[in-house]
Amino acid sequence: MVNANVRVRFCPSPTGNPHVGLVRTALFNWAFARHNQGTMVFRIEDTDAARDSEESYQQLLDSMRWLGLDWDEGPEIGGPHAPYRQSQRMDLYKDVADKLLEGGYAYHCYCTTEELDTRREAARAAGKPSGYDGHCRELTAGQKAAYEAEGRTAIVRFRMPDEPVTFTDLVRGELTFTPDNVPDYGIVRANGAPLYTLVNPVDDALMEITHVLRGEDLLSSTPRQIALYKALIELGVAKAIPAFGHLPYVMGEGNKKLSKRDPQASLNIYRERGFLPEGLLNYLSLLGWSFSADQDVFTIPEMVEKFDIADVNANPARFDLKKAESINADHIRMLDVKAFIEACEPWLRAPHANWDPEDFDRAAWEAIAPHAQTRLTVLSDITANVDFLFRKEPVEDEASWNKAMKEGSDALLRTAREKLAVADWSSPEALKNAVLAAGEEHGLKLGKAQAPVRVAVTGRTVGLPLFESLEVLGAERTLARIDAALEKLAS
Ligand code: GLU
Ligand code: ZN
């Protein structure tokens, strides 16, 4: 059953490069919105001027566009709750903080960091809860005035209710947090800057978010946000508490949480290597969710059709690069040839291409493309697979040369050249038979016989199907390369 009232948000902070964990969060929110024909809100949480950057903001937008995760409200397109960058919403937060103070839901806390540390240590030593102890909860006007006379500045602290907070997580089921575990917490710094703890739920309330789907690392902030929400409802700022669902951790190497700093985690790496967005998203969707028991490869529309947050699994998910690559390879194969040709385009141009751009031959590329399409794991591999067509000479790779050129390779190459010279060049089968026959004359099976031919012609020991490659390269260039190899062997 779909629910068009669904409003979800993706609300990253523009710090550093986007990483795969973040993309998974964006994807699950987006798929949930699209499945329900609801609304995807994209909000930028850029209230931390010291850590946020414009460059990172641009990267986030660019990444979402590349991934094809579109949004219905947010940067550049606006919407009924604009602006969608928190740095442009400061007045709203100030207004809500004032209301919370006036209503007694929050209070000024004058404690210094040293005082808080000292009392925390003492509580720990006494085996008591070590969170904020409520010291400033009931200060009198006189006490406040005295603190201010000392030159102290106050933060704003939210007053947590004295009863437990219980909610039903969409992924984990019912969870209860006792007051001891959730002490009063800061929502505005002494310099007036509002904190994540305030701005995130305030915006969720103002933007009428119905479902908060985010990483498990944020689970501990949920009871605080629910308590804040209740206050906002009483103040008339919020309408209803959203449902929460916490997506499982993503584990990397050595069963450690994949961290933003892991090179494996950077979205840009996957883009640079030539993952298809749909291949990467297909893989990331499996981090905590599954399409069906026996199918791991599917299109994004198929995922959207099936996706339900209730089916997400709470157990940590392991990031498996090999599996990501193999799923990507499947998506490359699923493209129609024209789309494949187009997707490869950026890799065939400088700086990726290792040939003179003038020597690029579009007809040859289109002829070889279908053979490349079935063999690539990532698009960036295309250059090494087709460069033999566009380079004046094959790449020089000593290791490949030494591996293929054995004693007797010159004799074999000479025979192969003779037979290829008179073969039917419109048929890869005929070219194969020529090399097969040459091999027979020298007591070599096809595999052994074709290795020196391949290295002579392409410079590499592995590559696309050889006889199709020769056909596209043409008789003249193939024979000239075999001649050049024979010369090199003779010298
Ligand atoms: N800006 C927060 C982050 O990037 C959002 C967390 C949330 O989804 O509530 O972690
Ligand atoms: Zn205090």
CATH homologous superfamily of 89-247 equals Glutamyl-tRNA Synthetase; Domain 3 (3.90.800.10)
Cα separation of 448 and 56, whole Å? Answer: 52
Q: Quick check: CB of 11 below 6 Å from ligand 1? A: yes
Nearest 5°: the CA angle 129, 133, 136 is 175
Q: Which atom of ligand 1 is nearest to the CA of 12?
A: 4
Q: Quick check: CB of 9 below 6 Å from ligand 1? A: no
153 by DSSP, 3-state: which? coil
419 by DSSP, 3-state: which? helix
- Judge whether 389 and 353 are in contact, CB under 8 Å: no
Q: Quick check: CB of 12 below 6 Å from ligand 1? A: yes
Provide the pLDDT for residue 482.
98
Residues 6+ apart with CB under 8 A from 491: none
Provide the pLDDT for residue 261.
84
354 by DSSP, 3-state: which? coil
For residue 129, whether the previous peptide bond is cis, meaning omega lies within 30 degrees of 0, is no
Q: Which residue from 166, 152, 167, 63 is spatially nearest to 111, judged by alpha carbons?
A: 152
Residues in the chain, pLDDT under 50? none
pTM for the complete prediction?
0.94
- Judge whether 243 and 229 are in contact, CB under 8 Å: no
Q: Which atom of ligand 1 is nearest to the CA of 25?
A: 8
Span from the CA of 25 to the centroid of ligand 1 (angstroms): 10
256 is catalytic: no
Element (H, E) at 363: helix 362-373
Provide the pLDDT for residue 490.
95
Provide the pLDDT for residue 1.
78
Pocket test for ligand 1, best of 45, 85, 211, 220 (most atoms within 8 A of CB): 45
pLDDT digits over 112-138, tens only?
999 999 999 999 999 998 899 999 999
Provide the pLDDT for residue 435.
98
- Judge whether 85 and 203 are in contact, CB under 8 Å: no
The position carrying tokens 């699209």 is 34
Q: Quick check: CB of 13 below 6 Å from ligand 1? A: yes
Cα separation of 430 and 177, whole Å? Answer: 75
Q: Which residue from 301, 303, 276 is spatially nearest to 292, judged by alpha carbons?
A: 303
Residues 6+ apart with CB under 8 A from 334: 299
Provide the pLDDT for residue 40.
98
Cα separation of 188 and 445, whole Å? Answer: 77
- Judge whether 282 and 288 are in contact, CB under 8 Å: no
Q: What are the backbone angles phi and psi of residue 95, rounded to the nearest 5°? A: -60, -45
Q: Which atom of ligand 1 is nearest to the CA of 22?
A: 4
Which residue's CA is the nearest one to ligand 1's atom 10? Answer: 12
- Judge whether 24 and 250 are in contact, CB under 8 Å: yes
Provide the pLDDT for residue 359.
96
Domain 7-84+250-318 has CATH 2.60.40.10: no
3 by DSSP, 3-state: which? coil
Q: Quick check: CB of 43 below 6 Å from ligand 1? A: no
Cα separation of 273 and 119, whole Å? Answer: 52
Q: Quick check: CB of 29 below 6 Å from ligand 1? A: no
Secondary structure E strands in 206-300:
211-215, 243-247, 250-251
Provide the pLDDT for residue 5.
97
Of all ligands present, the nearest one to the C-alpha of 28 is 1
Kind of pairing, strands 165-169 and 173-177?
Answer: antiparallel
| CATH number, domain 398-490 | 1.10.10.350
Catalytic residue among 260, 306, 419, 448: 260
Q: Quick check: CB of 22 below 6 Å from ligand 1? A: no
Span from the CA of 213 to the centroid of ligand 1 (angstroms): 10
- Judge whether 420 and 434 are in contact, CB under 8 Å: yes
Q: Which residue from 457, 408, 407, 412 is spatially nearest to 435, judged by alpha carbons?
A: 412
